[in-house]
Amino acid sequence: MKNRFITRYINSCGKRSAIIFLIAILFIMFILPVGTAVSAKPAPESFSGLVKEASPSVVYISTKKIIKQRFLSPFGQNDPLRDFFEKFYGDRLPRDMPQRGLGTGFIIDKEGYILTNNHVVEMADEIKVTLMDKSVFEAKIIGRDPETDIALIKIEDAKNLKPLKLGDSDLAEVGDWVVAIGNPYGLETTVTAGIVSAKYRDNVGIGTFENFIQTDASINPGNSGGPLMNVDGEVIGINSAIYSQTGGSVGIGFAIPVNMAKDLIPMLKTGKIVRGYLGVNVQEITPDLKEQFKLENENGALISQVYPDGPSEKAGLKNGDVIVSFQGKEIKDSKRLPYLVSATPVGTEAEVVVIRKGERKTFSVKLGERPPSDETAFEEPSSSVKLGMSLEELTPEKAMRYGLSEREGLLVVDVEFNSPAAEAGLQQGDIILEVDRMKVTSEKDFEARIKNYKPGEKVLLLLKRGRAATYITLRIWKDNQ
């Protein structure tokens, strides 16, 4: 009897164990894969469908700028040997040279509007757009924004244009698959794929407002202005720059978030960028500053200067306040604030939350209009002197950052179309060393040298361009020229 009971008990335990084991197997086979599939999207088998759909919307941009070359004599315009040189060596003297550039863009509507990078088109005298069917159109610049490196151009009379859908770059996650289409080195409709490597990258050194998507999808010269797309074929970024010591791709590329472009498109269509303005200078909170201001963490943007009569001063903000929220959006570091403010319409009563001496305070600040950036702008000495270029004082630190051999001088950061600087052949990246054979190291020096020149007169400049130094003359234009 006893043995029978033991046998029954053992059989019963065996059945229960078998059932438990079977349930465990079923859980592993069916329940766990479902949970895993939710957290990780499978890699696509192919991007061919996306590429076929998107490629007709990606365009090839070629630009041309005429660089004026001049024969400069140490004796000036009255060189007694000028006639001799022109007669016998005329065909060897410097001539106007076309400078060509390549880039990419993508169609955003059926009217012919195309998004690209500002640096692709900003200095061009001629812009041509080639569609996938090889048809070529002349394009004109509608609006451009050097501070974000975004430009809007337009072609006319093109039929059956197919725009790309602009996605939501905020929804892109690190690790998501992305596809880049462009024209690297003139190789049209080149497709590369990779992932989102990081978000919110700044300090790349391209524009004032930097908030890049980093990707390892191969990007090379000529890709600039092309789309970075998610697996749904939506544009999430505009390919803009690469990190490279060789000039080629090393798997570190940067794209401007498309949400930044969507905010700008209405203004680009008007040709004028208007940005919100808070009227403060802010800085990053370091561990030492955190300790000095008795803050709980290093989040926020520390106000180091409140501009007189600006929106913030009128609202009551003070030096030493730490901005931790703007319009309900948390400010984790000082680099996020300028873009959020700039993207907010002028006149908005913005809610600004600060920490002041350990207390949380809320202010309503009516945003003004952001004045032109004075970080790189040269203020013209008088209304009669319109040079059409922006200058930046060169320091050893900036020279190291830009990879320049010169440590002093004035760096040309922008040259306007149809201006004295453009006529003289000045280029972005030139370094002005002398004005009329006098050394210049600051904007104040430059202004002092040219302020007495009258319209029609010429200024002698010594430039460093690449490894070579060269003299050029810059003619001062009349106001109505």
CATH number of the CATH domain containing 305: 2.30.42.10
- Residue where the block lists tokens 């561990």: 287
Residues 205 and 353 grouped into a single domain? no
Q: What is the mean pLDDT of residues 370-375?
A: 60
Q: Are residues 232 and 98 both part of a single domain?
A: yes
Can you tell me the distance from the alpha carbon of 79 to that of 201, in angstroms, rounded to the nearest whole number? Answer: 54
Which residue in the list 119, 312, 334, 430 is annotated as catalytic? 119
> Residue 67 domain-assigned?
yes
User: Does 363 lie in the same domain as 310?
Assistant: yes
- When divided into structural domains, the chain yields a total of 3
pLDDT at 441: 86
Handedness of CA 339, 345, 347, 350 (dihedral sign): negative
* Mean per-residue pLDDT of the chain: 81
Both tokens of 111, joined, read: 């009217």
String of DSSP letters for 266-287: HHHHHT----EE--EEEE---H
Looking at residue 26, what is its pLDDT? Answer: 56
Is residue 20 assigned to a domain? Answer: no
The answer on pLDDT for 383 being more than 80 is no
Q: Which residues contact 312 (CB under 8 A, 6 or more apart)?
A: 278, 279, 280, 303, 306, 352, 365
Establish whether 419 is a catalytic residue: no
User: Based on C-alpha coordinates, what's the Rg of the chain?
Assistant: 30
333 carries an active-site annotation = no
- pLDDT tens by residue, 268-288: 999 888 899 999 988 888 888
Q: CATH code at 223?
A: 2.40.10.120
Q: What pLDDT sits at residue 118? A: 92
Q: Is residue 110 part of a domain?
A: yes
Whether residue 22 lies inside any domain: the answer is no
Residue 433 has pLDDT above 50, yes or no: yes
Range of the domain at 48: 44-274
Which whole-number Å values give the CA distances from 364 to 115, 325, 347, in the listed order? 35, 12, 11
Q: What is the reported pTM?
A: 0.62
What single letter denotes the amino acid at residue 79? D
Q: Which two tokens stand for residue 2?
A: 């006893």
Q: What is the reported pLDDT for 137?
A: 96
381 pLDDT exceeds 50?
no
Tell me: the pLDDT tens digits for 286-337? 888 888 888 999 999 999 888 889 999 999 999 889 999 999 999 988 878 9
Query: pLDDT per residue over 166-191, tens digit each?
Result: 999 999 999 999 999 999 888 888 99
What percentage of the chain carries pLDDT values higher than 70? 77
54 with 111, same domain: the answer is yes
Of the pLDDT bands very low, low, confident and very high (cuts 50, 70, 90), residue 18 is: low
Catalytic residue among 57, 62, 145, 149: 149
Q: Are residues 174 and 51 part of one domain?
A: yes
Supply 58's token pair.
């990606």
What is the share, in percent, of the chain residues with pLDDT greater than 90? 41
Residue 232 shares a structural domain with residue 351: no
Residue 7, in any domain of the structure: no
Query: Sign of the CA dihedral 186, 187, 191, 196?
Result: negative
Last residue of a domain, one of 259, 274, 289: 274
Query: Is 198 found in the same domain as 174?
Result: yes
pLDDT tens digits along 217-255:
988 888 999 999 999 999 999 999 887 666 667 789 999
Together in a domain, 311 and 443: no
Report d(CA 70, CA 348) in Å as an integer. 51
Q: Are residues 297 and 341 in the same domain?
A: yes
Query: 406 and 353, same structural domain?
Result: no
DSSP 47-68: SHHHHHHHGGGEEEEEEEEEEP
Are residues 469 and 341 located together in one domain of the fold?
no
Report yes or no: 132 and 54 within 8 Å, Cβ to Cβ.
Answer: no
Report which secondary-structure segment, H or E, holds 237: strand 235-242
Residue 312 placed within a domain: yes
Considering 57, 169, 197, 224, which one is annotated as catalytic?
224
Please indicate, yes or no, whether residues 208 and 343 belong to a single structural domain of this protein: no
Q: Where residue 68 falls among pLDDT bands split at 50, 70, 90?
A: low
Examine the residue annotation and report whether 342 is marked as an active-site residue of this protein.
Answer: no
Amino acid symbol at 417: F
